[in-house]
Amino acid sequence: MPLLEVKNLRVWYPIRGGILGRRIGWVKAVDDVTFSIEAGQTLGLVGESGSGKSTTGKAILGLAHISAGQILFEGNDITDSARRNRSPYRKSVQMVFQDVYSSLNPRKRVLDIIAEPLRNFEKLTKAEEKKRVDELLSIVGLTSDAAVKYPFEFSGGQRQRIGVARAIALKPRLIIADEPVSALDLSVQAQVLNYLKDIQKELGLAYLFISHDLGVVRHMCEHLAIMHNSRFVEFGTREDIYSSPTHIYTRRLIAAIPDIDPLKRDENNRRRIEVAKEYTDRREDYYLDSTGVYDLKKISATHMVALP
């Protein structure tokens, strides 16, 4: 049984207009999205800004209104927010944010930031709490003296570690990581990705790893979902997506990965221009009415693409 199953998820926001504030249309932030995540595995959710990635994550956490569809966690239906709040689900699924500057309360010491979820869910003595916080700090590679400091005393990469320590405090099964390294310098990104992988192994965590950059998630994800215009345009294993990207949108994201090897720069520039040309000239081969995304179709046992 998968850890998390999302079936035909829809998050639509009403657009209101006129003096009566009547509904005149919908913003379809997420439209008919289906996927599952196995325990201990990572699903990458990749697409440009505005494609519906964060809303998908928020719907799973109960932070966005679900218009239609179903969410199951360990086989239990938690679509309904009342049921979600009563179940162990609230401890089992946590979030790590992109914005390491505003997601930590600047007036609280690190000890209080990390201990907050523990105080909400577990009755620990002060000594037990301090011990747990020290353990959590050491898991994310910080020393125990960090506990008495404030967030501003740390670098961006260290703050992200504090955010992760807080997210894993209740021993969750799933972490929704929404662009967790996008605000960090390139050199720090690799470090953060590495320790996220280490923690994953140590704690048996599953990740929904959200990113706009296919280069960043390459070594993190067993499976990838490529999202555009609130729908999945392609879904597959790492091998499927990086070795045989099929939808023009996926190929465009692959072509946008920055070059590390200077010898390949000319070749890649040429490919980038070709893909950009196909994206504008042959849109009707890939999109319904030029923007609508087709339903996914299986092209192999593991690989699905939204094609006519």
Ligand X SMILES: Nc1ncnc2c1ncn2[C@@H]1O[C@H](COP(=O)(O)OP(=O)(O)O)[C@@H](O)[C@H]1O
151 binds, among Mg ion, ligand X, none (CB under 5 to 8 A by kind): none
Tokens found for residue 49: 């800004």
Site for ligand X in 65-124 (CB under 6 A): none
Decide if residue 163 touches ligand X (CB under 6 A). no
Phi/psi at 244 (5° precision): -135, 60
**Total site size for ligand X, rule CB under 6 A:** 11
Q: Binding marks (x or -) toward Mg ion, 25..64, rule CB under 5 A? A: -----------------------------x----------
Residue with the two structure tokens 């967030």: 151
79 binds, among Mg ion, ligand X, none (CB under 5 to 8 A by kind): none
Q: Which is nearer to ligand X, 117 or 180 (CB)?
A: 180
Q: How far is the CB of 146 from ligand X (least distance, A)?
A: 30
Rounded to whole angstroms, the Cα distance separating 303 from 297 reads: 8
98 binds, among ligand X, Mg ion, none (CB under 5 to 8 A by kind): none
Q: How far is the CB of 40 from ligand X (least distance, A)?
A: 25
The binder of ligand X chosen from 47, 69, 157, 245 (CB under 6 A): 47
Stretch that binds ligand X, among 53-61, 72-80, 98-106, 235-243 (CB under 6 A): 53-61
Rounded to whole angstroms, the Cα distance separating 197 from 89 reads: 23
Map 61-114 to HEC letters: HCCCCCCEEEEEECCEECCCHHHHHHCCHHHHEEEECCCCCCCCCCCCCHHHHH
The binder of ligand X chosen from 18, 49, 126, 127 (CB under 6 A): 49
Tokens found for residue 82: 């009342």
Rounded to whole angstroms, the Cα distance separating 267 from 259 reads: 10
Rounded to whole angstroms, the Cα distance separating 66 from 159 reads: 31
50: left (phi over 0), alpha (psi -120 to 50) or beta: left
50 binds, among Mg ion, ligand X, none (CB under 5 to 8 A by kind): ligand X
Tokens found for residue 167: 């997210």
- Interior CA angle at 53 toward 47 and 55, to 5°? 155
**Total site size for Mg ion, rule CB under 5 A:** 1
Rounded to whole angstroms, the Cα distance separating 13 from 219 reads: 34
Decide if residue 53 touches ligand X (CB under 6 A). yes
Q: Binding marks (x or -) toward ligand X, 3..22, rule CB under 6 A? A: ----------x---------
The binder of ligand X chosen from 27, 63, 190, 288 (CB under 6 A): 27
Q: Which is nearer to ligand X, 27 or 273 (CB)?
A: 27
Tokens found for residue 8: 């035909």
Question: Which chain residues interact with ligand X by CB under 6 A?
Answer: 13, 27, 29, 47, 49-55
Give contact residues for Mg ion (rule: CB under 5 A): 54
